[in-house]
Structure 1
Amino acid sequence: MSAQNSTGIQTLLDSEREASKIVQKAREFRTKRVREARDEAKKEIEAYRQAKDEEFKKFEAEHTQGNKQAEDEANKEAEAKIKEIHAAGKKGQSEVVENLLKAVFEVKPVPPEKA
């Protein structure tokens, strides 16, 4: 009976070792698969990010052209107004200087009125 028990115990120990090896292999496989899935997910995320970056740059390029055109038009209008103001200043400049000099040199004192 002791030999049977010993054989049974040995069979159980062998089975336990075999089960332990199977569980260890399953853990290694699971760990490996998790790493692969993580790496695959990172690649997909990076590809998605690049696609969205390209899409944004394209959108930005399309919409900033309109802003650039509007900015250029505004600058042209501003330059035209500045030239117009300078021309008006030059046109009346001599007359204004003459009037200022006349006011300074031709003094006409007026006595103060009593309140």
Structure 2
Amino acid sequence: MSAQNSAGIQTLLDAEREASKIVQKAREYRTKRVREARDEAKKEIEAYRANKEAEYRKFEAEHTQGNKQAEEAANREADAKIREIQEAGKRGQEKVINDLLAAVFDVHPAPVS
């Protein structure tokens, strides 16, 4: 009977060792899988970030270009107005100078009462 009990105990110990090995392998697999999942998630996040960054750069380029075009149009319009004012000044310049000179040199004395 004791030999039979000893054999049963030995069988239980062997089964326990085998179960321990299986649990250890499962832990190792789980740890490995968690690391792989973390690495995959990091890659996905980086790809998503790069995609959004590219979208932002494209959006910024489109809208900045529109602002530059508006600024250039405003500058062209301002330059045209400045030229127009300068030309008007040149056209009337001679008359203004003559009027000023006439006012200074054509003195009409009047008695003061």
After TM superposition, the score normalised by the length of structure 2 is: 0.73
Matched, 1:68 2:75: yes
Aligned partner of 1:11 in structure 2 is: 18
Two-structure CA RMSD over aligned residues (Å):
2.4
What is the aligned-residue identity percentage?
A: 8
Query: What secondary structure is seen at the aligned counterpart in 2 of 1:68?
Result: helix
Q: 2:27 aligns with which of 20, 23, 27?
A: 20
Q: 2:43 aligns with which of 5, 11, 36?
A: 36
Matched, 1:87 2:94: yes
Aligned length: 106
Unpaired segments ≥5 residues, structure 2: 1-7
Supply the distance in 1 between the matched residues of 2:97 and 2:77 (Cα, whole angstroms).
30
Supply the distance in 1 between the matched residues of 2:85 and 2:16 (Cα, whole angstroms).
99
Whichever residue aligns with residue 15 of structure 2, its letter is G
Q: Deviations over 1:16-50 (max 9, x none)?
A: 11111111111111111111112211221222122
